[in-house]
Amino acid sequence: MVSVGRDLIEEIPPMARWRIAARAASLLPALYARALRDERGTPEEREQMVWYALGQEVKAIAATFGFPTGTAEEVCEAFKAGTNMIFGPDFRISVLETSDETATLIMKGCPHQGTLREAGASGETGFSWCLPFALAAVEALNPAYSLRFVRARCMGDSQCEMTVRREEEK
């Protein structure tokens, strides 16, 4: 079992990180190929399903490496490590614990913004990727928790801020 409080990604061997990134890089075009051929839903909905499916990969990463996901902080730390393994180290994410039931992810660096700019796409496009990815990752890591965006860089805010909170029993 890996301990929280340290950067979880540092506990994963570089070759394992490389393999996860390579899997994500090959999975993404396959997911888009499936979405392009599916005639159900709007193109935007099909694209969001691509990123939702990729977000679910974070659970497999957490399970493979024994990341704990019982508290809000642990969910955030596993999300941070999984995101960095899939997309690389240019994501600069901090985790702020409020309680066992609530924690906040602060993202000051996002490589998608630069990539979108280079491709001539709108920065807001990143939100249509990030939202389903992040929702799916948190949901998969621990279904007792949900994620809410408070701020988004691609929507003009200075940083991204997401709150992970235990769902109230229904």
- Report the candidate in 55, 9, 49 with the shortest Cα–Cα distance to residue 31: 49
Instruction: Give how many domains the chain has, as a whole number.
Output: 1
First to last CA, the chain: 31
- Res 6: pLDDT: 60
Show the domain range for 98.
8-166
Q: Is 4 helix (H, G, I), strand (E, B) or coil?
A: strand
Q: Is 108 helix (H, G, I), strand (E, B) or coil?
A: strand
Integer Cα distance of 57 and 87 in angstroms: 12
**Within a domain: 133:** yes
pLDDT, averaged per 10 consecutive residues of the chain (170 residues), comes to 62 90 93 92 92 96 95 96 91 88 92 88 86 97 96 87 84
**Within a domain: 114:** yes
**Within a domain: 2:** no
- Res 153: pLDDT: 86
- Res 139: pLDDT: 97
Tens-place pLDDT, residues 101-125: 999 999 988 888 888 889 998 878 8
Any idea what the CATH number is for the domain that residue 108 is in? 3.30.1380
Beta-bridged to residue 58, according to DSSP, are: none
**101: phi then psi, degrees, rounded to nearest 5:** -100, -10
